[in-house]
Amino acid sequence: MKSLFEKEEKEIALNQLKVDLISRFYPFAKDEVLKYKSVLNFDRYHLMNNDSIQWDTNLLDSLDAKIDWSALWKIKNTKLDFAFFKKIRIQN
């Protein structure tokens, strides 16, 4: 039996797929990440795995509530020092 909301469920799933793919592969500038932070998927498989983003400690600080901190190791293009981790530990 078909769901009463089958069309809407497919549309929601398709929209989520679009957000996930854009989050994972689009080469966002730092200001774009901040601009679209309410829409992007920050989990370890999507934005945190996007090698095109030029991450830095300021960007990470700005996105503190959105970042998947357990996936911080996936960010390869920035240097994080002991002071940064100490500050993050105090905040969380």
C-alpha 76/C-alpha 81 separation (Å) is: 13
Q: What is the pTM of this model?
A: 0.81
Which residues lie closer than 8 Å to 63 by C-beta, 6 or more apart?
Answer: 33, 34, 37, 42
What average pLDDT does range 5-27 have in this prediction? 95
> Does 31 have pLDDT greater than 90?
yes
Is 1 part of a structural domain of the chain? no
- Gyration radius (Cα) of the chain, Å: 16
Specify the 3-state DSSP secondary structure of 75.
Answer: coil
What average pLDDT does range 75-86 have in this prediction? 83
Is 85 part of a structural domain of the chain? yes
In the chain, how many domains are there? 1
Mean pLDDT (the chain, rounded): 89
C-alpha 92/C-alpha 87 separation (Å) is: 9
> Does 4 have pLDDT greater than 90?
no
> Does 92 have pLDDT greater than 60?
no
C-alpha 79/C-alpha 77 separation (Å) is: 7
Please tell me the predicted confidence (pLDDT) of residue 26.
98
Rounded (5°) CA angle 30-14-48:
30
Specify the 3-state DSSP secondary structure of 28.
Answer: coil
Range of the domain at 47: 6-91
Is 48 part of a structural domain of the chain? yes
Is 28 part of a structural domain of the chain? yes
